[in-house]
Every structure is written in C-alpha cells, then in structure tokens.
Amino acid sequence: MKKILTIAGSDSCGGAGIQADLKAMSAQGVYGMSVITAITAQNTKGVFAVQEIENDIIRKQIEVIYEDIEVDAVKIGMLSSTEIIETIAQTLEKVNAKNIIIDPVMVSKSGYYLLKESAIEALKKFLKIGTLVTPNIPEAEILSGMKIETEKDMIDSAFVIKKLGVKNVLIKGGHRNDSCTDILLTENGEIVKFLGERFETKNTHGTGCTLSSTIASYIGKGMSIEDSVKQGKNYITKAIENSFSIGEGVGPVGHFIELYKKAGVDYE
C-alpha cells in the first residue's frame, strides 16, 4: 500500500483540512498520514479561531515519519505563517521529500484568512519545491498578480505561476460563472483542459483539500500528472454531486458515498 502524507490544518467539523485529506486518501486505497500545522475552530457556518502549532512540533512530526516510513507523496495545505512555511520547506528538503502537491490555501469559504498576508511572498518562494500546485482562481490571481476572467487568463496566469519554480500548475475553474473547466500546465509546457460539471448545491466544503489529496494519492501510486489530475477530477465531481448537509451552513462533499450507500445510510 502506498503511503501519502498530508501537511495541513485540522478542521474541527471534519469537512476540510487534515480530516478531508485522510478521507480522500482512504477512498483512493492509500494509507494517509498527517502533520498538523494549525488547529481551527470551525463548523459549517465558518472558521472562528485558529491556533498555529509550534514550529519545532511541525518539524518533528515530519522528521519522525520520514525516519520510519517511506512516503510516496506529500500533499500540503494550510500554511498560515512565514515561519511555518520556512520550517516545512527546510524540513522537506532535509528528508529529501518527493512528489509534493501544494494546495495554496488562503481564504476559507466563509471568508476567514487562513494565510497571513505577510506570508504570501514566502508561499510564492515555497512553490519551487512543488511537483504540482493547485490554486483556485482567487488564489491564482494572488500568486500571479493577474485578474482572471477568461480561459485565456487562466492559461496566462498558469505560465506566470510556473515561473515561480513549480513543475506543474493546475488552475481550478470553479469560481468562473460561465465555465468550471480546469487548466493544467505541465512541466513540458503542454496545456491540458479538464471539462467540469456544475451542480446546484451549497455543500462544497473541502473541495480543494479533497481534490489535491486525491491527486497526491495517484501520483504516489506512480501515475502521471495528467492521469492523476483526471482521477482527482472524476472523484471530486462525484463527491460534489453526492455532497450533503450536516449543519446550518456549507456541508461536506461525499468522500465515502459508496460506503454510505452499502451501509444503507440516509445521507441526503
């Protein structure tokens, strides 16, 4: 069984962050492990508080895993400060980490800033260790310094972001009104488009975490970037289609929908 590590924040309501990552990884048939960078107090209505984990503990979490276990891929999510970003970069370099997928988490769906503004430049520098970065359109606008409205804008911004040093760039198109096509810019400069299907649902909590974790799982299994993104796109589409409510706000996507159906769970 392949072993995939997620380095991200904890979501107390289980829909995003570490919890979503581990669910998505398990659904792909890989063994998920975690390094927690921050603890969030959140529910379906929003994020209400964040407590960063001390740098030494973050570093040690990574080191002890690599001392004992072969890590086939790494998914990186919430990195709230410059200090945390630099600690993780130095430690991953020290352990010679491979197959690094970066989901540049910046703002929660409820509008809470999960990345300090002072850490944006550090995040841009951090991208050079990445095999793939997976920004949505608002994140890509910050990373590229461009306004993105059209598919051409998405492609242009991908080239700008790639110049930061990351090998491959996936711009997610879900924030566009006229299309939800994702754009992949590969290491060799090829553009690959992944057509999307839009569903009428408010329950999209954890979509970015779930997609990037699924992609990391398949890259860890040895699939190409393009095929891994395709698998990720297929999985998140089905998960959104089968999302459900658990509270008054934005509910989670259906990570284990087939298991729920087999167990006879009424999740709707």
User: What CATH number corresponds to the domain at position 252?
Assistant: 3.40.1190.20
The total domain count for the chain is 1
What pLDDT does residue 200 have?
Answer: 80
19 within some domain: yes
201 within some domain: yes
82 within some domain: yes
264 within some domain: no
pLDDT in tens, the chain (268 residues): 999 999 999 999 999 999 999 999 999 999 999 999 999 999 999 999 999 999 999 999 999 999 999 999 999 999 989 999 999 999 999 999 999 999 998 877 666 677 888 889 999 999 999 999 999 999 999 999 999 999 999 999 999 999 999 999 999 986 666 667 899 999 999 999 998 777 788 898 999 999 999 999 999 999 999 999 999 999 999 998 988 899 999 999 999 988 888 888 876 6
Phi and psi (nearest 5°) for 101?
Answer: -110, 120
DSSP structure class, residue 264: T
202 within some domain: yes
What pLDDT does residue 107 have?
Answer: 76
From first CA to last CA, the distance across the chain in angstroms is: 32
261 within some domain: no
Residue 216 burial (CB < 10 Å; 0-12/13-18/19+)?
Answer: buried
Distance CA 166, CA 30 (A): 25
Phi and psi (nearest 5°) for 70?
Answer: -80, 120
Distance CA 77, CA 54 (A): 17
DSSP string, 147-175: ---SHHHHHHHHHHHHTTT-SEEEEB-TT
What pLDDT does residue 117 have?
Answer: 83
What pLDDT does residue 17 have?
Answer: 96
Q: How far is CA 119 from the centre of its chain?
A: 18
DSSP structure class, residue 83: H
140 within some domain: yes
Q: Are 72 and 65 in contact (CB under 8 A)?
A: no
Q: Are 164 and 202 in contact (CB under 8 A)?
A: no
DSSP structure class, residue 248: S
Q: Are 109 and 250 in contact (CB under 8 A)?
A: yes
Bridge partner residues of 184 (DSSP): 170, 192
| Segments forming the whole domain that contains residue 179 | 3-256
Catalytic positions, written as ranges: 172, 204, 206-209
Looking only at the bridges linking them, the beta strands covering 73-76 and 46-52 are: unpaired
268 within some domain: no
